[in-house]
Amino acid sequence: MITPSARTDEVLAALDFCAGVTNVVVVPGAARQPAGDVVLCDLAREAANEVLGRLKWLEEAGSIAVENVDLALSRVAEEAVEEAPGEPDDAVVWADLTRKVYNDCRITWAYLAFLTIATLLAGIGVLQNSPILIVGAMVLGPEFGAVAAICFGLMHHRGRLVVESLRTLITGFTFAIAITYVCAVVAAWLDWITIANLQINEEVRFIVLPDRWSFLVAMLAGAAGVLSITAGKSASLVGVFISVTTVPAAGYMAVALALRDWGEVSGSVAQLALNIAGMVVAGTATLVLQRKLWPQVGRSSSS
C-alpha cells in the first residue's frame, strides 16, 4: 500500500484491528508517485475483505496492490490464518472477483480468437464424428467468464454489467458462428462435406438433443464454475468447460446452417440457450449462497 504520510497511522490502526494480519512493514517516505509511505503486510485470505473494506479510501488517496503468496514459511503467518475466521478455501475476496468479472465481460480480440478457434474445432468435430475434438473445443472456449459476469451483475443488480456481458456473449458467438459458417460453406463448395456428414455422427448427436439432463448438467457446471473462480480453484474450471456444450452447439449450428439442415439448427440453438440459462441460474444462486451462508468472508468490499 502507498498511503499519505499524514494517514499512515490510520492505516496501521486498521491493520491492527483486523484479525489475520501479520508481517507489517512500514517504509516512511519511500513512495514517489503517488508520494507517501509504503506499507506492506501479509494477511489471511479470510481477512482480505475486512482489510480492503476498511482501507477503501486508499483507492483515491493512495494505492493498494494485492498479490497471492504461494508459500509462506512463518509461524506468525500460520497463526494469522488460524486467527482469521473461516477457512481460506471458503473465502470469497469480493474485490478480486469484481475485477475479474469486469475484465472478462469485455470484448477483446483474444476472446474472439479463442472462441472462433473453439467453434471451428467443434464444427470439425461434428463433421468428423469426433468426441475428442468436441472436448477440445469445450476446454478452449472462453465464454464462462462472461457468464460469471452476468451472475455477478444479477446478484448486485448491476444492469449495465449484465447488458455488457450479454453483448459480449452474443457478439462473440455471432462472430465465431459466422466465421465457422463461411468455412463450412467453402468446404461444401469444394465437396469436402455434404449433409450426409450430419447423418453419420451418432457420437456427437447429443449436442442437438437437449433435455432435462442438459439443463441439470449446465446448472451443476455453473455452480462449480463460480466456486472455482471465487475460491481460487482454477484447475476445477477445466471440468466446467468439459461439462457444458455451449461451444459445440455453436459449431454444430454453423455447420448445419451451411448444409441447410434446419432441424439440426433448431436443436443446437436450443442446446446453446439451455446451457447458458442453466449456468446463469446456478451461478447466480451460488454467489447469493456464498454471500449469505459464509458471512466470515466479509461484506464491506463487495459493493
Same domain, 114 and 184: yes
Same domain, 159 and 263: yes
Same domain, 98 and 85: no
Same domain, 67 and 138: no
Percent of the chain with pLDDT over 70: 93
Q: What is the pLDDT at residue 22?
A: 92
Same domain, 69 and 138: no
- Evaluate whether residue 112 is within a structural domain: yes
- Evaluate whether residue 303 is within a structural domain: no
**Residue range of the domain that includes 15:** 2-89
Same domain, 141 and 208: yes
- Evaluate whether residue 66 is within a structural domain: yes
Same domain, 163 and 192: yes
Q: What is the pLDDT of residues 108-145, one digit of tens each?
A: 999 999 999 999 999 999 999 999 999 889 888 899 99
Same domain, 24 and 116: no
| Dihedral sign for Cα atoms in the order 223, 229, 234, 240 | positive
CATH code, domain carrying 223: 1.20.1080
Mean pLDDT of the chain: 88
Q: What is the pLDDT at residue 185?
A: 96
Instruction: Give me the residue label for grid cell 468447460.
Output: 241
Domain C-terminal end among 89, 115, 143: 89
- Evaluate whether residue 228 is within a structural domain: yes
Same domain, 74 and 101: no
**At how many degrees (to 10) do helices 246-258 and 131-140 cross?**
120
161 and 101 in contact (C-beta within 8 Å)? Answer: yes
Domain C-terminal end among 40, 63, 89: 89
Q: What is the pLDDT at residue 157?
A: 92
Sheet of strand 35-43: strand arrangement: 2-3, 35-43, 21-32
Domain C-terminal end among 31, 63, 89: 89
**How many Cα neighbours within 13 Å face the side chain of 98?**
11
Same domain, 179 and 270: yes
Q: What is the pLDDT at residue 302?
A: 39
Lookup: cell for 288? 447469493
- Tell whether the model's pLDDT for residue 240 goes beyond 50: yes
Among 38-42, 84-88, 157-161, 229-233, the minimum mean pLDDT is found in 229-233
Task: Between 167 and 290, name the one with better pLDDT.
Answer: 167
Reported as a pLDDT band with limits 50, 70 and 90, residue 301 is very low
- Tell whether the model's pLDDT for residue 74 goes beyond 80: yes
Same domain, 187 and 288: yes
Task: Between 210 and 301, name the one with better pLDDT.
Answer: 210
Q: What is the pLDDT at residue 298?
A: 40
Same domain, 65 and 100: no
Reported as a pLDDT band with limits 50, 70 and 90, residue 237 is low
Reported as a pLDDT band with limits 50, 70 and 90, residue 45 is confident
**Can you tell me the distance from the alpha carbon of 298 to that of 25, in angstroms, rounded to the nearest whole number?**
24
- Evaluate whether residue 176 is within a structural domain: yes
Domain count, the chain: 2
